[in-house]
Amino acid sequence: MKVAIVGATGMIGRRLTTALLADGHEVVAISRRGVTVADAPGIGWDPQAGPLSRDALDGVEAVVNLAGASIGSGRWTDARKQEIADSRIVTTRRLVEAIGADGPRTLINASAVGYYGNGDQPVDESAAAADDFLGTTCAAWEAAALAAEANGVRVVVLRNGVVIARESELLRRQLPAFKLGLGGPVGGGDQWWSWVHIDDVTGLIAFALTHTSLRGPVNVVAPHAVRQKDFAHALGRVIGRPTVLPTPGFALKLAMGESAIIALGGQHAVPEVASAAGYAFAYPYIDGALRAELGHP
295 falls within a domain: no
Query: pLDDT digit of tens for each residue in the chain (297 aa)?
Result: 999 999 999 999 999 999 999 999 999 999 999 999 999 999 999 998 888 998 999 999 999 999 999 887 778 899 999 999 999 999 999 999 999 999 999 999 999 999 999 999 999 999 999 999 999 999 999 999 999 999 999 999 999 999 999 999 889 888 998 999 988 898 889 999 999 999 999 999 999 999 999 999 999 999 999 999 999 999 999 999 999 888 777 566 766 677 667 777 899 999 999 999 999 999 999 999 999 999 865
- Phi/psi for 118 (5° steps) reads -100, 145
Which residues lie across from 106 on neighbouring strands?
62, 154
Contacting residues for 173 by C-beta, under 8 A, at least 6 apart: none
Which has the closest alpha carbon to 15: 212, 202, 288, 255? 202
Which has the closest alpha carbon to 113: 264, 222, 289, 268? 268
252 falls within a domain: no
41 falls within a domain: yes
Distance CA 6, CA 10 (A): 9
278: containing domain: 2-164+195-221+273-282
72 falls within a domain: yes
Domain count, the chain: 1
Look at residue 48 in the predicted model and tell me its pLDDT: 87
CB 155 within 8 A of CB 148: yes
Which has the closest alpha carbon to 282: 105, 133, 164? 164
Q: What residue type is 225 in one-letter code?
A: A
Show the CA angle centred on residue 270, arms to residues 224 and 104, nearest 5°.
120
> What is the domain-level CATH number for residue 118?
3.40.50.720
Q: What residue type is 103 in one-letter code?
A: G
DSSP conformational letter for 285 = S
Look at residue 255 in the predicted model and tell me its pLDDT: 61
Look at residue 252 in the predicted model and tell me its pLDDT: 64
Write the burial class of residue 181 (CB in 10 Å: 0-12 exposed, 13-18 middle, 19+ buried): middle
- Phi/psi for 121 (5° steps) reads -80, 140
CB 213 within 8 A of CB 277: yes
152 falls within a domain: yes
What sign does the dihedral 226-228-234-235 (CA atoms) show? Answer: positive
Contacting residues for 11 by C-beta, under 8 A, at least 6 apart: 163, 165, 167, 168, 198
SS3 261: helix
The CA-atom distances, in angstroms, between 191 and each of 114, 202, 219, 226, 236 are 13, 26, 18, 9, 18
175 falls within a domain: no
CB 160 within 8 A of CB 196: yes
Whole-model pTM? 0.95
258 falls within a domain: no
Which residues lie across from 262 on neighbouring strands?
none
CB 8 within 8 A of CB 14: yes
The CA-atom distances, in angstroms, between 2 and each of 27, 134, 140, 187, 206 are 6, 32, 28, 45, 12
149 falls within a domain: yes
